[in-house]
Amino acid sequence: MAKSNAALIKSRLSAAHEDYLKAIYILGAQGAPVTNSALAEFLGVSPASATNMVKKLDELGLVEYEKYREILLNDSGRRVALEVLRHHRLLELYLHEQLNLTWDQVHDEAERLEHVMSDVLEDAITAALGDPTHDPHGDPIPTKDGRIAPVEGMPLSQAEPRQAYRLVRVLVQDAKRLTYLGSMGLYPNATVILSKRSPFDGPLLIEVNDEPQALDYRLARQILVAPAA
Amino acid sequence: MAKSNAALIKSRLSAAHEDYLKAIYILGAQGAPVTNSALAEFLGVSPASATNMVKKLDELGLVEYEKYREILLNDSGRRVALEVLRHHRLLELYLHEQLNLTWDQVHDEAERLEHVMSDVLEDAITAALGDPTHDPHGDPIPTKDGRIAPVEGMPLSQAEPRQAYRLVRVLVQDAKRLTYLGSMGLYPNATVILSKRSPFDGPLLIEVNDEPQALDYRLARQILVAPAA
DNA sequence: CGTTACTTTTAGCCATGGCAAAATTTTAAC
DNA sequence: GTTAAAATTTTGCCATGGCTAAAAGTAACG
Ligand SMILES: [Mn+2]
Ligand SMILES: [Mn+2]
Ligand SMILES: [Mn+2]
Ligand SMILES: [Mn+2]
């Protein structure tokens, strides 16, 4: 046979297919079952459109799917999803490190580039970055053979007061919020100390690299930290 | 008005639109009138498909077109074409210079990336390269405001024997032939001397950076040179 | 356990950008 | 000028990936 089955499948996948698979992976990684409506909302399409595409992905042998049930990636689908996610996060890091795009600019750019990147370019970027493991938001970059580091860290909202933590990951996606967090120095590897909690899920008083800052509780839940080394 | 007319038009253009406009520009720049069949062949689509798209481009106000006649870009269309061409050639150079792709790999990659590159990325690449004027094949890069340097150089096939020339541009597109030319050192800025012509449009004996080489006449016609400084 | 609210699928539509085959127009040859 | 060849357009088709509205299924509540 000239091509592997995997290569045959992959060559037929459009950007839409890839975004759906990646979305199913990301939603699944968040713990909850992947429903049609969650998928549709995540991708900004109608539920009818999501049903339509999920049926196609099932026929292509990329997801396990039965009407009205949870949508599950199978091994083939997960492999594709992780490859696209690798592209995305490598691109985000490259754009940030080598081309000085800000961490709130890189997502939208990577969202398009991820679908048109050749293997040669993927390898060139990997080499230029020295085989990196995490993107600018602290998200782990899947390896070329489809492995991905487990989620580390706990929400800053649950940190012990007065302990020094290292910021490991920012789950915030919104560009404006990222800009704001960056203005406080809340990037991966920043040193963060929780000085004081407010009652009623109120704002946290924190120190970021020794600077005092106030941080909204909802944002603090989306910032993951680990005890400082 | 919130957006300029130009911005309104541009936001609706697909990769297909952009490739057609770029193709019309490139074919036109080669001197001959742009016919439907030439356009179809250049893009690898059927003549019916080309007709269909050209009609759309006419309706969008990007080309001047009347049935059975030559296809002409108007100012709007030329502006778009030059912007896409700028993307293409900036990308080719960036991929070659910064990511070490070979000059025969960059075209296919740029052909896809050119359509999904934001203004921010374009500017970042421009800055990283120091506002370059020519791509790895010696093709001029249009400026951001849509100007493009005129074609310089004469075909190597018409060079004066024993004179030192500087290679300025390689019109060859085929990846295999580019690899071959590269193996002889026939890159832009190489010093080339025509040692001897063969009769009957036969091969040329040349010196490339002081190394003797034999070069097919048909390839020599696609290599442009200028008298060495 | 039946009714209601919610989710999901189905049905039918649309725009895009391809194609092949047939019809038409232009061009070239006589 | 007529005719044959070549180029171009028209016609009708297809796959893709959206959408809305209507139908159907699932789940939750009293
Ligand atoms: Mn995407
Ligand atoms: Mn990220
Ligand atoms: Mn292109
Ligand atoms: Mn080029």
- pLDDT one-digit tens code per residue, B71-90: 999 999 999 999 999 999 99
Global confidence as pTM:
0.93
Q: How many CB atoms lie within 10 A of CB A46?
A: 11
Interchain pair A98, B95: CB under 8 A: no
In this prediction, residue B9 has a pLDDT band, given cuts at 50, 70 and 90, of low
Q: Calculate the angstrom distance between C1' of D17 and CA of B57.
A: 23
Please tell me which of the candidates A95, A100, A120 has its beta carbon nearest to residue B101: A120
Judged by C1' against the alpha carbon of B47, the nearest nucleotide is D8
Q: Which of 3.30.365.10, 1.20.5.510, 3.90.1150.10, 1.10.10.10 would CATH assign to domain A1-147?
A: 1.10.10.10
Q: What pLDDT sits at residue A151?
A: 87
How many angstroms does the Cα of residue A9 sit away from the middle of ligand 1? 18
- Is the confidence at residue B4, as pLDDT, over 60? no
- Is the confidence at residue B61, as pLDDT, over 50? yes
**Would you call A58 helix, strand, or coil by DSSP?**
helix
Mean per-residue pLDDT for B199-213? Answer: 95
Q: Which residue has the tokens 């006449």?
A: B217
Beta strands (DSSP E) in A32-163 are 63-64, 72-73, 154-155
Q: What pLDDT sits at residue A229?
A: 75
The ligand placed nearest to the CA atom of residue A107 is: 2
- Nearest-CA distance from B3 to chain A in Å? 21
Q: Is B1 in CB contact (< 8 Å) with chain A?
A: no
Would you list the domain boundaries of chain A? 1-147, 154-227
- Is the confidence at residue B6, as pLDDT, over 70? no
Q: Calculate the angstrom distance between C1' of D16 and CA of B146.
A: 34
Closest A-chain CA to B129: A99
State the average pLDDT for chain A: 94
Q: Is B100 in CB contact (< 8 Å) with chain A?
A: yes
In this prediction, residue B3 has a pLDDT band, given cuts at 50, 70 and 90, of very low
Q: What pLDDT sits at residue B11?
A: 56
- Is the confidence at residue B206, as pLDDT, over 60? yes
User: What's the order of all strands across the beta sheet hosting B164-170?
Assistant: B154-155, B223-227, B164-170, B191-196, B204-208, B211-215
Closest CA to B90 of B113, B61, B58, B57: B113
Decide the pairing of beta strands B164-170 and B154-155.
Answer: unpaired
- Is the confidence at residue B159, as pLDDT, over 60? yes
H helices of chain B, in order, are: 5-11, 15-29, 36-43, 47-59, 75-97, 106-113, 119-129, 175-183, 217-220
- Is the confidence at residue B70, as pLDDT, over 50? yes
CATH class, domain A154-227, is mainly beta
In this prediction, residue B142 has a pLDDT band, given cuts at 50, 70 and 90, of very high
- Is the confidence at residue A55, as pLDDT, over 70? yes
- Is the confidence at residue A11, as pLDDT, over 80? no
The answer to whether the B1-147 and B154-227 domains have the same CATH topology is no
Please tell me which of the candidates B116, B118, B120 has its beta carbon nearest to residue A116: B116
Interchain pair A121, B109: CB under 8 A: yes
How many angstroms does the Cα of residue A56 sit away from the middle of ligand 4? 38
